[in-house]
Amino acid sequence: MLLGVHCSIGGGFEKAVAEAKALQINTFQIFTKNQRQWKEKVVTAKEANVFQQHLTDSAVGMGFSHAIYLINVASAKPEVMENSMIALKGELDRCQALGLPYTVLHPGSNNKLSKMETADLIASKLNELFAADTSGRVKILLENTAGQGSSVGGKFEELRQIMQQLPEDRIGICFDTCHAYAAGYDIRTKTGIEDAMAELDARVGIKNVMAFHLNDSKGDLGSKLDRHHHIGEGKIGLEAFRYIINRFPDVPKVLETPKEQNMDQVNLARLKSLIED
């Protein structure tokens, strides 16, 4: 059962491994740089070696990254698009250096184009990025969004529009439960989550779901409100999490819930209680 949380790299990449070990989890997500700044970071050989050694010694398992929130390769502002391409290339390079197989990416937005036109632009820019990336190993996992404003990814067909134009070995999906619910997918019941997964399979292929963000929702169904809540304390309830935990044990699943008062341990315990024999 691959189950974990988003861990901090404050003080060094290896600190994320230490946090994961303390929580007794076997997968984790990190930011490889400050998530709210454009300033780039290059991973030194020493940093990479220390991280890998700690990971090996800990027996924690696999980690992956989340690209910074500023990235929007489809932006209508040329300077933002340019900075986004640089930042995403940097993210792939850091993941490659650290040995992380994936980075999770919010697809992007453009308030001057339709969502499908924006999806086409995103695919074009990602193809441009992949053509310049000689490593060819790190995958980008497109995250479904809450569908707010002009953002792409609230509907599965928008993700399909991007993915069908990209090399299969470089792209995948990260499924976020809060975002799906906020975007209008009613996953509160077993039937509801089954229907959502069936549609996701039809649109992008369930085999391409390579990570999950497990978050309850403070917002209502279809509210397009991206507000994460503790497991079982929001509007989604437990059935969606029970289904995902038991159907996808080998797919990395991480929490992005509020961390106050040691709630990571509480949320992890709630998820583990849903595991069926």
**Which residue ranges make up each domain of the chain?**
3-272
The yes-or-no answer on residue 229 being catalytic is no
Is residue 11 within 8 A of residue 50, CB to CB? The reply is no
Taking each continuous run of H as one helix and of E as one strand, the counts in the chain are: 9, 12
Query: Considering 6, 54, 94, 179, which one is annotated as catalytic?
Result: 179
Residues linked to residue 253 through DSSP beta bridges, in sequence order: 3, 212
Count Cβ atoms below 10 Å from residue 229 Cβ, excluding itself: 18
Q: Please state, in angstroms and as integers, the Cα–Cα distance from residue 105 to each residue in 118, 145, 209, following that order.
A: 15, 10, 13
pLDDT in tens, 46-94: 999 999 999 999 989 889 999 999 999 999 999 999 999 999 999 999 9
Is residue 196 within 8 A of residue 244, CB to CB? The reply is no
Residue 261 vs residue 236, higher pLDDT: 236
Which CATH number, 3.20.20.150, 3.30.1330.60, 3.30.110.70, 3.40.50.720, labels domain 3-272?
A: 3.20.20.150
Output the six-digit token pair for 89: 């290339």
Matching residue, tokens 């001057």: 112
pLDDT in tens, 174-217: 999 999 999 999 999 999 999 999 999 999 999 999 999 999 99
CA pair distance 275, 258, nearest whole angstrom: 22
Identity of residue 17: V
Query: Considering 54, 213, 229, 230, which one is annotated as catalytic?
Result: 213
Query: Considering 19, 47, 54, 66, which one is annotated as catalytic?
Result: 66
Query: Considering 19, 158, 176, 216, which one is annotated as catalytic?
Result: 176
The yes-or-no answer on residue 6 being catalytic is no
Output the six-digit token pair for 90: 């940097």
- The model's pTM is 0.96
Pair type for strands 108-109 and 151-152: antiparallel
Is residue 91 within 8 A of residue 65, CB to CB? The reply is yes
Q: Please state, in angstroms and as integers, the Cα–Cα distance from residue 92 to each residue in 45, 88, 97, 183, 223, following that order.
A: 16, 6, 9, 28, 33
The yes-or-no answer on residue 179 being catalytic is yes
pLDDT at 136 over 90: no
Query: Considering 6, 94, 106, 203, which one is annotated as catalytic?
Result: 106
pLDDT in tens, 252-275: 999 999 998 889 999 999 999 999
Query: Considering 14, 91, 143, 158, which one is annotated as catalytic?
Result: 143
Mean pLDDT across the chain: 96
pLDDT at 8 over 80: yes
Q: Dump strand ranges (E) for 98-252.
A: 102-105, 108-109, 139-143, 151-152, 171-176, 209-214, 216-217, 228-229
The yes-or-no answer on residue 106 being catalytic is yes
Q: How confident is the model at residue 262, as a pLDDT?
A: 87
